[in-house]
């Protein structure tokens, strides 16, 4: 009987450790549809990097440097292993930020479905978020 109590304590302690360790793990996640509200004109490139992270693509445009951020959002069915490619849907978020010098001049957000992204010619290299 006395051996069972320390064993229970050790098992409970291990379970608590496994559950608790998940609370402290922090993997940065980007949600363009909500984070885009934080980008306003006259922010610097450094401030945009701190908010959204590195852009997926940088281009030179007629009005200045252009940064593109892309995100793929898969439905629950699309995330199903092995058969997910045939089920569910994907939505695509694309943010285009134009800089005049070091400051944001324009910031555009656009959500696409699968058909629209194919027609637009916008390249989505791979899923950034699930």
Across the chain, which has 130 residues, the per-10-residue mean pLDDT values are: 65 66 56 83 93 91 88 77 76 91 92 80 55
* pTM for this model (two decimals): 0.64
Query: Beta strand 103-113 with 57-61: parallel, antiparallel or unpaired?
Result: unpaired
* Strand order, beta sheet including 57-61: 57-61, 64-74, 90-100, 103-113
User: For the domain bounded by 29-120, which CATH number is listed?
Assistant: 3.30.1450
What's the length of the chain? 130
Helix (H) or strand (E) holding 48: helix 45-52
Residue whose structure tokens are 């252009």 = 66
Q: What is the DSSP letter of 27?
A: -
């Amino acid at each position: 009987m006395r051996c069972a109590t320390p064993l229970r304590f050790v098992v409970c302690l291990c379970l608590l450790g496994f559950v608790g360790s998940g609370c402290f793990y922090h993997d940065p996640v980007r949600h363009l549809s909500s984070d885009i509200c934080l980008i306003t004109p006259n922010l610097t490139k450094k401030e945009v990097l701190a908010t959204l992270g590195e852009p997926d693509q940088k281009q030179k445009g007629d009005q200045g440097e252009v940064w593109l951020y892309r995100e793929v959002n898969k439905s629950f069915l699309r995330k199903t292993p092995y058969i997910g490619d045939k089920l569910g849907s994907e939505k695509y978020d694309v943010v285009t930020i134009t800089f005049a010098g070091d400051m944001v001049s324009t910031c555009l957000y656009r959500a696409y479905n699968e058909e629209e992204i194919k027609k637009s010619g916008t390249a989505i290299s791979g899923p950034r978020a699930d």
